[in-house]
Amino acid sequence: MICFDKLWQTMEAKGVTTYMLREKCGIDSKTIRRLRANENMETKTLNKLCAVLDCTLSDIATYIPDEEPRL
């Protein structure tokens, strides 16, 4: 699973709010809700976030392996 917890930390550190993402960067509220829920995200959205925040993908997302079923 891809987790976007780092996104909120990076935004806070850079003084960027969700309002700024919506109004100045063209990221709609539905996309912000999907980020909060760690749902699938298009690469163009991730690219836009990295550009706006002047950061790398590792600054906004973390890969967390899914648990494998036990046999």
Q: Find the distance separating the first CA and the last CA of the chain, reported in whole Å.
A: 21
Q: Which domains does the chain possess?
A: 2-63 (1.10.260.40)
What are 7-58's pLDDT values in tens digits? 999 999 999 999 999 988 899 999 999 999 999 999 999 999 999 999 999 9
Q: Which residue has the tokens 């973390």?
A: 62
Give pLDDT, residue 21: 92
Give pLDDT, residue 50: 95
- What is the distance between the alpha carbons of residues 49 and 46, in angstroms, rounded to a whole number? 5
Task: Say whether pLDDT at 63 is over 70.
Answer: yes
Helical (H) or strand (E) element with 20: helix 18-25
